[in-house]
Each structure stands twice: as C-alpha cells, then as structure tokens.
Amino acid sequence: MPSPAITSFTELALSAPVQKAIAAVGYEQPSPIQAASIPHILNGDDLLGVAQTGTGKTAAFALPLLSNIDLSKKTPQVLVLAPTRELAIQVAEAFQTYASKMKGFHVLPIYGGQDMSGQLRQLSRGVHVVVGTPGRVMDHIRRKSLNLDGLTSLVLDEGDEMLRMGFIDDVEWILEHTPTTRQVALFSATMPKPIRKVADRYLKNPKEVSIVSDTSTAPNIEQHFLIVNGFDRKLDAITRILEAQDFDAMIIFVRTKTATAELAEKLEARGYSASPLNGDMNQTLRERTINRLKKKQLDIIVATDVAARGIDVERVSHVLNFDIPYDSEAYVHRIGRTGRAGRDGQAILFVAPRERRLLQSIEKATRQSIKEMAMPSGSEVSGKRIQQFKLQLTEVLENQNLDFMYNILSEYSSESDRSAEEIASALAYLLQKERPLQVEDAPQRSRQRDRNERDKPEGQQRERPGRRQDSKSGSREKISDVPMARYRLEVGRNDEVKPGDIVGAIANEADIDSQHIGHIKLHDDHSTVDLPAGMPDDLLKHLKKVKIRNRAINISVDGKAESRPRPTITRQKDRSDKPKTAKSSADKAKRRKKES
Ligand code: AMP
C-alpha cells in the first residue's frame, strides 16, 4: 500500500504549521496509512481507507485537512462524524494538537448529552472543524445552527462501528445535507456491504488505501501479548516483567522520540540501565548506544522503529512492544531484533483494549497466534526479590569480614534481650524499605488515571483511555457476560425504530459499551433491551428523556427483569462522569466474574 518511498513527513506537502506541530509532538515518520492517505487527501480526492484504531488513521486525515484549512473563514470547513462521544472528543483533541501552531484555529466536538447552549454559542462564534456524533450533528443541521454551506471535507470515522450502532441512515442523511462539492474520506476497520454501498454512492472516484501485508515470523521467538492501557500501567507492567522474567537485554519499542527519552529516564530511575535510541540522534551516537548494549554496559534500549532498523545484537533476549506497531510488517521487523544467531527470543506486545483488532490483524498476517499473558503477580515479583536477597546475604556472609558488625550486634542483642533473628529482621526491613520484598498485585485500571491520561496532549497520550473495548466476536448478545437486567423503552416498531438506533442512543447517552448492550426485542409500541443490571436512578432519569426517532424513550426497568445480583453502582457528582459509572460497574462486575 504506502508508497514505500515516503519515509519522512517532510516529503509530504503538509503546511508549515502542521509540520511544526508534528515535530513538536515527536512523530518521526508517517505511519503506512498516513504515507498512503495524506497525498490523496491533500489533493482533494475522495478516499476509502481500511484501517483500524492504532494505525495512526486520525492523523492520516487530520494532518492534510488542517493543511488545507483557511483560517479566515468562519463557517466549518471540515466535519468529522464519529460513532461515539469519546471518539469525537479524542479526534477533536488530535485536531487541536496538530493545529497547535495555527493561531486562531477552532475545533468543536459536538455530541449528545452535552449542554446544547454551549455548543450553539461556540458554533455561532465560528469554528473551522466540527467533530460530532451523527445524532447531535443532525440536530444542529435541523436547527440550522450548523451551517455546512462552506464545508469542503467530510470524514466518516470508524464507518463499520457507525453501521453497527445503527447510525448509517443518519450518516447518509448528513451526507445528503452537505454540498456535493465536498471531499469525503471514509475510514473503516472492515468493509461490510452497507459501508461499501455508502462509499459507492457518495464517494467520487475514491482512492483506496488499506493495510494488508502477509509476513511470517521466526519460530524461535515466543510471542505473548498483555492487555494493558495507559502509560503508567504499561510502565508498571514493564517493571514487573523485568523483575519476574530472566532477561539479558531488551529492546522496547515506542512510537515517538519523546517517548524514547521519557521511558528510558523512568526505567533508569527504577534502577535499570536504559538508553533512548531515536532518529534525532546522529549515526555515531546511535552506533555508540548499540555498542554499549553489545558490551553489556547497557541492558535496555528504548527505540522508535526508524532508529532500531537492522539492530543485530545477540544478547537481546526480549523485545517489548510498549506501543503497538502500526502494521504486521513493523511487528515482524521489531520482534526480529530478538532470537538472533539461533538463540531463543521473547516478544511481548502491549495491547490497549481498543487495539484488539490490530492484534488480530497482526495474528492473521503473520499466520501465528499470539498467546495472552497475565501481568506478573505480586507474589511472582516477591519471589524473585526474595531469591535475590538471599543470594546477596550468602555472598556477603561468604566474602566479607563481618567481625566489626558482629560485635555491635551481639552487644545490642544482650542489651536489648532480642534474638539474632529479631535483629536481623529489623535490619532486613530497613534495607528493603525503598524496594519492598513484599509486592502487592498491580492495582486495577483506574478511570481517574484514564482521565488524567486523556487530558494529556496527543503524542504524550499513549492511549485513548476509556474507549469501548473491541470484541472478538463482534456480536452484542454473545459478548455480554456481566449481570444483566431487562429494560423497557416506550418506542417500538410503529415509530420505525431499529435495534441499531437503540444501541446508538444508549451507547452514547449512557456511555455503556455497545458490547454490554444485550438482546433487543422490538414490539409495536415498545421495545426491551438487556443492559448491565443496577442502572443508577439518575442515569435512568437522564436516559428517560433521550429521544429516538424524535420520541422520548422513557426507559424503565421491565417487570420481567432478570433476578441476577445487582452490582452496587454509585454515581459521582460531576456530570461528565455520570454515565460512565454504569460502564465501570459493568467492567468491575466482569472482572469479578473473571477472578472468581
Ligand atoms: P489512531 O490510529 O489514530 O488511533 O492513532 C494511534 C496513536 O498513534 C495515537 O496515540 C497517535 O498519537 C499515534 N500516532 C499517530 N501517528 C503517528 C506517527 N506518525 N508517529 C508516532 N505516533 C503516531
């Protein structure tokens, strides 16, 4: 797919402020989907992109569209449609980051559940880019608060998700309400028929780009993945892996130059000899770093793909993909840095829940399944530390003259009437205070941490936290394994409601993962839907007012609710958090089930 010739952003005709922003955020080279899409989008062509989350698709459309923005115009020039409010917010944040050097640039996320008056105020002030969920965008078009006369580009992000959530009619309606001259870019992880139909109908001579590659990996490399989300949790996971597994040397792959330095520094602070390796370093410095790894003066290199190309160091026992690679080719190249000269190698891949699809496509392309591993437990790490501690004791007892210490301690023993074991325990306690021998299990993923992470600018933000988890099967009914209850909605077939409308409304308004939305049954005048049990009262109150096909759904617990246990759900004060409690309780319930 990508024109292999493009290996640097400077080769792309992006505007100067956008180039500056890319440099500031630390991206070293365009990802394959970016190299392939950017020239077409810059050129004003329609585009059909098959790309999953994690491939860099947001920048693939945001960078060229920003390059073409006319800052002097006040009506929206770019509209991005996204299936969920979280994605809408994240895409808007990405635009903001990439437009950091464009003075006076405004992007506005609009989604259901958010105060309408604020959106109206901002829209009337003038914005260059609008990123919204279909329902709310339709509302604004109907109210005439969103003027699309000057629209030059429309992006449909995660097309297959929009289809799955029942937004496809809305998307078509919106397409019909935009100038026919606008450019359309449609991105989708898969290309189901209805999406293909939309593309055939609304895209003019689209350029098609997709990431499909077929590559194989060496059999002497054992491959594992770990589901872990967020920089801090990943750092914690690495530290545990480094302690629990016997490793000689390790190469850790991250996406940005900034991350190479930051992570190497964090590992140094935890007592490992680690160095960054990135494209900002000149050839001599890079070679010196690799030589230090060879000579055992260094154990860990934190590298970007560009900088690590061709590294051949036999003692590299582990490759750790801190950030998932953009495609299977990059994956194969990365893990090939271990298992050199016929040795065995370990490859570990960190996957955020939302990147599961990318994991599957890597498995498919390499025709190999990657086994899931668990985060090393507290007791595993403890065991290793205790073992090391005992070795140190033996070493000192065997090799040091301890007479002086012995005298002090026997004196103290008789003065205090304490046994030698008691005193030794106190000393051991003092010794291990900085690095305790007793290690607790890693804490569960916290939403607060996720939010903090989300507040970081893109580029420093390693994940898009709090996103709905992708599922392997893709079917709602099969996936839900949390306690469910049946709810009744006062809209039905007579209102022309479709199951997708219900999924879309509930996923967006209650922020419940679509995979946690269970069986939906349509009747003439009402419908029922299975949702995680224990919906908080005020969330229920909020949902009652939500409209589908212009009718309030007036949701209530159905008389025939299932009698499974209800997890306790408490709601927080902050409005923006409210709907999320249902989701996090669902997640907790799921985790509890798994643990038991
Ligand atoms: P996306 O596929 O749009 O969800 O992007 C996934 C992640 O890749 C985001 O956190 C981006 O900041 C990051 N990213 C996108 N393009 C690049 C690039 N060229 N170099 C490094 N990181 C990138």
180-218, pLDDT tens digit by residue? 999 999 999 888 899 999 999 999 999 999 875 546 667
Q: Report the distance separating Cα 18 and Cα 53, nearest Å.
A: 22
Helix (H) or strand (E) holding 480: none
C-alpha 321 to ligand 1 mean position (Å): 14
Report whether pLDDT(256) > 60: yes
Tens digits of residue pLDDT in 225-237: 999 999 999 999 9
Could you tell me if the CB of 31 is within 6 A of ligand 1?
Answer: yes
Q: Point out the ligand 1 atom lying closest to the alpha carbon of residue 94.
A: 12
pTM for the model stands at 0.62
* Cα separation of the two ends of the chain: 46
The residue ranges of every structural domain in the chain are 9-210, 221-376, 379-431, 466-571
Could you tell me if the CB of 518 is within 6 A of ligand 1?
Answer: no
pLDDT for 265: 96
The best mutation among 12, 25, 57, 58 to test binding of ligand 1, ranked by most ligand atoms within 8 Å of the C-beta, falls on 58
Mean pLDDT on 99-124:
91
For 9-210, CATH number? 3.40.50.300
List b or e across 331-342, with b for residues whose CB sees 16 or more CB atoms inside 10 angstroms: bbbbbbbbbbee
C-alpha 169 to ligand 1 mean position (Å): 30
Query: Which residues does residue 532 pair with via DSSP β-bridges, in sequence order?
Result: 484
What mean pLDDT is reported for the chain? Answer: 83
Spatial contact of 42 and 33, defined as CB atoms under 8 Å apart: no
Tens digits of residue pLDDT in 529-584: 888 877 778 788 888 888 887 788 999 888 654 434 333 222 333 333 333 333 34
∠ CA 409-410-416, rounded to 5°? 85
Neighbours of 591 (CB within 10 A): 13
Would the CATH topology of 9-210 be identical to that of 466-571? Answer: no
pLDDT for 442: 66
Q: Which fold, 221-376?
A: Rossmann fold (3.40.50)
Least confident segment among 339-353, 356-370, 431-445, 494-508: 431-445
List b or e across 190-214, with b for residues whose CB sees 16 or more CB atoms inside 10 angstroms: ebeeebeebbeebbeebbebebebe
Q: Point out the ligand 1 atom lying closest to the alpha carbon of residue 462.
A: 10
Report whether pLDDT(121) > 50: yes
C-alpha 296 to ligand 1 mean position (Å): 33
Could you tell me if the CB of 585 is within 6 A of ligand 1?
Answer: no
Helix (H, G, I), strand (E, B) or coil at 19: helix
pLDDT for 5: 67
Mean pLDDT on 337-343:
81
Could you tell me if the CB of 54 is within 6 A of ligand 1?
Answer: yes
C-alpha 473 to ligand 1 mean position (Å): 26
pLDDT for 482: 65
Q: Which CATH superfamily is domain 466-571 in?
A: RRM (RNA recognition motif) domain (3.30.70.330)
